[in-house]
């Protein structure tokens, strides 16, 4: 079976911790973000459509009943007001339309209250449920002139819409009482509930299907970009590899010629020295580009050994001690108990050297570099703190971008290529860790590395170390 057959599925996991496809993490994140945006836009459209449909259905189903109930209450309020005080609130004729629980939306029930909000006794209203005869709505109508609400009478009647209107006293200021009319909206409520359930079900299924379809379509849409990215990474790797040999030969030839500098003109010797310097710089650049291309493609071999951070920092400090002494920088270590992680000792040491190299290059004469190790919330933490020139806040978000330099002139003079921090971040990423950098201008920089702790710690750990690791800023 083809391993990539189900690569569009969001929960698919390839074998191993790191995908072998170049830029897999980048395109996976992009595919998920595109799918989220697609589902978000579709979800917003579905919500707007569902809300509009529900409100239209609600208006179409309930408005006729509400208007009928309100018109009925106002008609009886007008009759009461015209016939007062000879006649109190009474239905217009002995019709079975009033005093019985409605069985359809055309039937209404009626109750009257006096000017104090007290129910007026009547043979018909005596058979009505107490929930309908509550005087809360009547008191509200006496204050505002009219009011409405819904009450649930239970049983087969269900929900009732009530409308209350205050009856004006024609002989003096004030009210004679309140007329409350009610009509059943149980069927309409049931229809609206069914519509709401249907909209939620259809919307949920649609979003789920859109999510799966979006992942598939995003994968297909990103396929050309994946292919172009793969070709670009392969080209960078091949070009970097092919450049190393001629650069090495060019440097060797220039060094051989420079041995006879006594017979050369001074300008010719200086030119050869420039050639050797530039060849060295280009060789480091080609090596770093090759390593980044391999890391991106997942082609860089990764050992899985138990690595002691105490030993790692000790070896790193020893290897940069001569460089630090030359620059007038003091490098010191601070640690608690020994801490162990699982990873490739050579790559982790290279990361350590990259960070220490930067901390020394961009420090002040007489400055300090402090290396600390500790356990932080179940993770191994390694910090490198320097008292150097620091980095402005506007540059912090760009650190780690390839070939990005805060001070291009100083970085070039120091021999940097602008790829060191990118390499360090990629190495820590393939070790399932994180590298963060905090800095303030003219105050120094702190680089923090978090790595998963090793679950088992052996009594003795022998770690392979790189004696010829390439590193740059």
Query: Both 28 and 162 in a single domain?
Result: yes
Note whether residue 99 is domain-resident.
yes
Give percent above pLDDT 90 in the chain. 12
Please give the average per-residue pLDDT across 178-200, as a whole number.
91
Strand order of the β-sheet with 108-114 is 108-114, 175-184, 159-168, 146-152
306 pLDDT above the threshold of 90 = no
* DSSP line for 56-94: HHHHHHHHHHHHHHHHHHHHHHHHHHHHTTTS-S--SSS
Cα separations in angstroms, 271 against 20, 57, 88, 249, 274: 44, 86, 119, 17, 5
Which structural domain range is residue 340 located in?
301-452
Query: Both 205 and 307 in a single domain?
Result: no
Q: What is the pTM for the complete model shown?
A: 0.54
465 pLDDT above the threshold of 70 = no
Query: Both 305 and 238 in a single domain?
Result: no
Task: Please answer whether residues 111 and 91 qualify as being in contact, where contact means their C-beta atoms are separated by less than 8 angstroms.
Answer: no
Give the bridge partners for 451, in sequence order.
380
Looking at residue 12, the DSSP 8-state letter turns out to be -
pLDDT number for residue 406: 58
57 pLDDT above the threshold of 70 = yes
| Total domains, the chain | 2
Query: How do residues 195-209 score in pLDDT, each as one tens digit?
Result: 999 999 999 999 999
Query: How do residues 139-171 score in pLDDT, each as one tens digit?
Result: 999 998 899 999 888 777 788 899 999 988 877
Query: Both 24 and 109 in a single domain?
Result: yes
Q: What average pLDDT does the structure give for the chain?
A: 76
- d(CA 331, CA 300) in angstroms, rounded, equals 31
Residue after which a domain boundary falls, among 202, 218, 246: 246
Note whether residue 465 is domain-resident.
no
pLDDT confidence band for 239 (50 / 70 / 90): low
- d(CA 167, CA 165) in angstroms, rounded, equals 6
CATH code of the domain in which 70 resides: 3.30.450.20
Note whether residue 296 is domain-resident.
no
pLDDT number for residue 124: 66
Query: Both 206 and 116 in a single domain?
Result: yes
145: its two tokens: 């002139």
More confident residue, 394 or 283: 283
12-26, 48-62, 129-143, 288-302: segment of lowest average pLDDT:
12-26
Query: Both 176 and 34 in a single domain?
Result: yes
Task: Please answer whether residues 424 and 359 qualify as being in contact, where contact means their C-beta atoms are separated by less than 8 angstroms.
Answer: no
Note whether residue 293 is domain-resident.
no
Query: Both 235 and 316 in a single domain?
Result: no
- d(CA 25, CA 34) in angstroms, rounded, equals 14
**What is the SS3 assignment for 399?**
coil
Residue after which a domain boundary falls, among 205, 223, 246: 246
22-36, 78-92, 410-424: segment of lowest average pLDDT:
410-424
Query: Both 227 and 315 in a single domain?
Result: no
More confident residue, 22 or 137: 137
Query: Both 319 and 419 in a single domain?
Result: yes
Cα separations in angstroms, 255 against 127, 137, 266, 274: 114, 102, 15, 11
Beta strands in 344-464 (DSSP E): 368-376, 379-386, 434-440, 444-452
pLDDT number for residue 416: 56
pLDDT confidence band for 54 (50 / 70 / 90): very high
Note whether residue 167 is domain-resident.
yes
467: its two tokens: 């004696």
Rounded to 10°, the helix 345-361/420-430 angle is 150
- d(CA 430, CA 409) in angstroms, rounded, equals 32
- d(CA 239, CA 243) in angstroms, rounded, equals 6
Query: Both 205 and 327 in a single domain?
Result: no
More confident residue, 282 or 438: 438
Give percent above pLDDT 70 in the chain. 71
Q: Map tokens 């979800």 to a residue.
A: 43
79 pLDDT above the threshold of 50 = yes
**What is the SS3 assignment for 433?**
coil
The pair phi, psi for residue 8, each rounded to 5°, is: -80, -15
396 pLDDT above the threshold of 50 = yes
* DSSP line for 287-324: HHHHHHHHHHHT-S----EEEEHHHHHHHHHHHHHHHH
39 pLDDT above the threshold of 70 = yes
Q: Find how far residue 23's CA is from the centre of its chain.
A: 20
Note whether residue 141 is domain-resident.
yes
CATH code of the domain in which 442 resides: 3.30.565.10
Query: Both 221 and 354 in a single domain?
Result: no
pLDDT number for residue 347: 81
362: its two tokens: 């961009």
Q: How far apart are the first and last CA of the chain?
A: 44
Nearest 5°: the CA angle 407, 410, 411 is 80
Query: Both 201 and 320 in a single domain?
Result: no
141: its two tokens: 């109508």
Give the bridge partners for 181, in sequence order.
110, 163
Element (H, E) at 327: helix 309-327
The pair phi, psi for residue 239, each rounded to 5°, is: -65, -40
Note whether residue 120 is domain-resident.
yes
What region, left, alpha or beta, does residue 237 occupy, with left being phi > 0 and alpha being psi -120 to 50 degrees?
Answer: alpha
- d(CA 141, CA 120) in angstroms, rounded, equals 16
What region, left, alpha or beta, does residue 74 occupy, with left being phi > 0 and alpha being psi -120 to 50 degrees?
Answer: alpha
Please give the average per-residue pLDDT across 285-312, as a whole number.
71
Task: Please answer whether residues 186 and 158 qualify as being in contact, where contact means their C-beta atoms are separated by less than 8 angstroms.
Answer: yes
Note whether residue 274 is domain-resident.
no
Task: Please answer whether residues 455 and 388 qualify as being in contact, where contact means their C-beta atoms are separated by less than 8 angstroms.
Answer: no
């Amino acid at each position: 079976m083809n391993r990539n057959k189900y690569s569009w599925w969001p929960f698919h996991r390839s074998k191993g911790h790191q995908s072998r496809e170049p830029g897999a993490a980048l395109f996976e994140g992009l595919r998920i973000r595109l799918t989220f945006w697609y589902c978000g836009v579709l979800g917003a459209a579905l919500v707007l459509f569902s809300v509009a449909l529900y409100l239209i259905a609600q208006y179409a189903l309930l408005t006729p009943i509400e208007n009928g109930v309100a018109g009925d209450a106002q008609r009886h309020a007008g009759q009461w007001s015209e016939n007062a005080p000879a006649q109190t609130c009474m239905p217009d004729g002995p019709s079975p339309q009033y005093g019985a629980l409605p069985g359809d939306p055309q039937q209404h029930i009626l109750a009257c209250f006096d000017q104090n909000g007290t129910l007026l006794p009547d043979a018909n209203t005596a058979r009505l449920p107490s929930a309908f005869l509550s005087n809360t709505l009547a008191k509200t109508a006496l204050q505002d002139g009219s009011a409405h609400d819904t009450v649930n009478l239970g049983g087969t009647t269900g929900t009732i819409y009530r409308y209350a209107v205050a009856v004006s006293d024609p002989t003096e200021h004030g009210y004679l009482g309140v007329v409350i009319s009610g009509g059943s909206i149980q069927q309409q409520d049931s229809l609206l509930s069914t519509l709401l359930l249907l909209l939620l079900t259809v919307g949920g299924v649609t979003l789920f299907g859109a999510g799966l379809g979006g992942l598939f379509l995003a994968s297909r849409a990103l396929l050309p970009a994946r292919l172009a990215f793969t070709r670009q990474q392969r080209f960078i790797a091949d070009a970097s590899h092919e450049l190393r040999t001629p650069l090495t030969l060019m440097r060797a030839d220039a060094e051989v010629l420079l041995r006879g500098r006594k017979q050369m003109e001074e300008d010719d010797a200086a030119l050869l020295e420039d050639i050797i310097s530039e060849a060295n710089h280009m060789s480091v650049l080609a090596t770093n580009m090759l390593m980044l291309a391999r890391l991106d493609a997942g082609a860089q071999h990764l050992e899985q050994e138990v690595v002691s951070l105490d030993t790692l920092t000790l070896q790193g400090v020893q290897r940069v001690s001569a460089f630090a002494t030359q620059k007038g920088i003091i490098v010191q270590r601070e640690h608690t108990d020994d801490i162990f992680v699982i990873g490739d000792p050579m790559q982790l040491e290279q990361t350590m050297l990259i960070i220490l190299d930067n901390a020394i290059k961009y420090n002040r004469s007489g400055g300090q570099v402090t290396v600390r190790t500790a356990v932080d919330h179940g993770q191994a933490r390694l910090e490198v703190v320097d008292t150097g020139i620091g980095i402005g806040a506007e540059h912090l978000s760009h650190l780690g971008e390839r070939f990005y330099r805060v001070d291009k002139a100083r970085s070039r003079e120091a021999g940097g290529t602008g790829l060191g921090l990118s390499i360090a971040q990629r190495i820590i990423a393939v070790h399932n860790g994180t590298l963060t950098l905090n800095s303030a201008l003219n105050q120094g920089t702190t680089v923090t590395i978090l790595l998963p702790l090793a679950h088992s710690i052996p009594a003795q750990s022998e770690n392979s170390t790189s004696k010829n690791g390439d590193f740059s800023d």
